Amino acid sequence: MARPARGGRTTCESCISIDVRRWHREGRLHADQYFSCSWTRGGEPSGRINVRTECGEAVLSYRAQNWGASEWKSIEQRVPIAWTACHLGGRRPWFICAVYCNGRYCGRRAAVLYCAGELFACRRCYGLAYESQQETPMRRGVSQAQKIRMRLGGSVSLFEPFPEKPIRMHWRTYLRLRARAEAAEHTSNWLTMQWVNRLKRRRELA
Ligand SMILES: [Zn+2]
């Protein structure tokens, strides 16, 4: 169901996942509800599960196929749901990751569970990385700078002049963001130069 990122660990974003906050928003956590969730990848269906809610847990039913295996298996997984109080009142739900990982029961609270194997489990049990963690330091600097430029109303292009201060933003905030973007661009440029120099040296030696 999941694919490893280029040259690295499998990422959260490449896995099928369920988010308890979303189910809560959609009013799906009351007992005795039935619903299904489905996913697509590149326009093709890539997964589907049926969910039944009971008192304090969600029961997931689906069919899974292990890597390399040709047969499909029917799976029913019970996922406990816990509630904690919020600072500003109200309460929020969590999935409890109820799987055994390396022989130990996990039991962690998680907002999102991923299916990177047969069962739904937390990010740590599957050792998943976020896509941003997979970026090279060079690329990370560029995307940090791009995010700041876009937050200030600019485009993603680093070749355009740096965006002006938005009217409602404090100068202090603007200058802090600008300094952070410039530092990120500078680091990224410096790493790119190092990389180019290394390539050149390698060519000269060849
Ligand atoms: Zn876990």
Cα of 68 vs centre of ligand 1, distance in Å, is 24
Q: Which long-range contacts (CB under 8 A, 24 or more apart) does 129-133 make?
A: 129/5, 129/8, 129/9, 129/10, 129/11, 129/12, 130/11, 130/12, 130/13, 131/5, 131/11, 131/12, 131/13
Q: How many CA atoms lie within 13 A of 177 on its CB side?
A: 21
pLDDT of 4? 47
Q: Is the pLDDT of residue 98 over 80?
A: yes
> Is residue 1 included in any domain, yes or no?
no
**Share of residues in the chain with pLDDT > 70 (%):** 92
The residue that leads in pLDDT, 121 or 129, is 121
User: Model pTM greater than 0.85?
Assistant: no
Q: What average pLDDT does the structure give for the chain?
A: 87
Residues at Cβ < 5 Å from ligand 1 ion: 97, 106, 108, 121-122, 125
> Is residue 4 included in any domain, yes or no?
no
> Is residue 2 included in any domain, yes or no?
no
Cα of 115 vs centre of ligand 1, distance in Å, is 11
pLDDT of 190? 81
What number is the average pLDDT over the span 164-171? 93
Cα of 202 vs centre of ligand 1, distance in Å, is 44
The radius of gyration of the chain's CA atoms, rounded to the nearest angstrom, is 23
Cα of 30 vs centre of ligand 1, distance in Å, is 24
Question: Which of 98, 131, 164 corresponds to the end of one domain?
Answer: 131
Question: Which of 112, 131, 150 corresponds to the end of one domain?
Answer: 131
Task: Single out the residue of 149, 155, 137 nearest to residue 192, CA to CA.
Answer: 137
Cα of 113 vs centre of ligand 1, distance in Å, is 8
Residue 119 and residue 24 share a domain: yes
Cα of 186 vs centre of ligand 1, distance in Å, is 38
pLDDT of 78? 97
Question: Which of 108, 131, 154 corresponds to the end of one domain?
Answer: 131
Cα of 1 vs centre of ligand 1, distance in Å, is 18
pLDDT, one tens digit per residue, over 30-41 is 989 999 999 888
Please tell me the least confidently modeled range out of 4-8, 56-60, 97-101, 102-106: 4-8
Cα of 184 vs centre of ligand 1, distance in Å, is 34
Report the alpha-carbon distance of residue 115 to residue 37 in Å, rounded: 13
Q: How confident is the model at residue 46 (pLDDT cuts 50, 70, 90)?
A: confident
Residue 120 and residue 19 share a domain: yes
Q: Is the pLDDT of residue 196 over 70?
A: yes
Cα of 47 vs centre of ligand 1, distance in Å, is 21
What number is the average pLDDT over the span 132-150? 82
> Is residue 29 included in any domain, yes or no?
yes
